[in-house]
Amino acid sequence: EDQVTQSPEALRLQEGESSSLNCSYTVSGLRGLFWYRQDPGKGPEFLFTLYSAGEEKEKERLKATLTKKESFLHITAPKPEDSATYLCAVQTDSNYQLIWGAGTKLIIKP
Amino acid sequence: NAGVTQTPKFQVLKTGQSMTLQCAQDMNHEYMSWYRQDPGMGLRLIHYSVGAGITDQGEVPNGYNVSRSTTEDFPLRLLSAAPSQTSVYFCASRPGELETQYFGPGTRLLVL
């Protein structure tokens, strides 16, 4: 069964303290892996798409990487405004619908 | 562009009542989807559409109906609301199969 698991469920960091969020997946064939950010009371907002192992993408303090089994979202020197829930989703070869992880809630304390 | 819009933002229903959640997009996207989001779970697909006149079921379709008469609109109907349908509902659209998906602001539904 296709599955996406995110860890940790929640992460509290001090401002400036770098860390990584994990998204592991077991799917029959990967078409693409997506990262989204979701603020409280709002819809998810697109961050990155990764298509193949070894690919990396960056945006401001965020960097997403992909291996054959998992993806990491690295956050460097985070600021309080980076606080949000980060969602990972996978699109498989068998259909074009996304399989979503439950998310990691990131809290950055000033 | 307004993007993806959803109405209402919040709704309270009694068990057995019916209602329609509205979703519209002004980006001329072919693909539209409805998700529900519950605490501790990933987004779950309810129904989706790949173009006007074409709809299909997702992972959790029971108790919900959809139709797609125009490219812009994709309403979700709750036929007879149940407490298990208490959730936050998101509508999303994208231009193509492997394109970025854009989400609406969500509708928070409480069924008593």
Q: Tell me if A42 and B105 make a contact (CB, 8 A cut-off).
A: yes
According to the model, what pLDDT value does residue B96 have?
86
Q: What's the gap in Å between the CA of B18 and the closest CA on chain A?
A: 24
- Phi, psi (degrees; rounded to nearest 5) at A80: -55, -30
Cβ neighbour number for residue A107 with a 10 Å cutoff = 14
Q: Residue ranges of chain A with pLDDT lower than 70?
A: none
- A55-73 pLDDT, tens digit per residue, is 999 999 999 999 999 999 9
According to the model, what pLDDT value does residue A81 have?
97
Partners of A98 on chain B (C-beta within 8 Å) are 43, 45, 101
Cβ of A99 under 8 Å from any chain B Cβ?
yes
- Phi, psi (degrees; rounded to nearest 5) at B98: -115, 35
Q: What's the gap in Å between the CA of B33 and the closest CA on chain A?
A: 9
CA distance A72 to B94: 25
* Of B44, B48, B103, Cβ closest to residue A44: B103
Distances in Å between the alpha carbon of B79 and those of A67, B18, B19, B24, B112? Answer: 43, 5, 7, 20, 15
Q: Residue ranges of chain B with pLDDT lower than 50?
A: none
**B42-56 core/surface letters (b: 16 or more CB in 10 A; e: else):** bbbbbbbbbebeebe
Closest CA to B74 of B13, B7, B12, B2: B7
For A104, the closest chain B residue by CA position comes to: B40
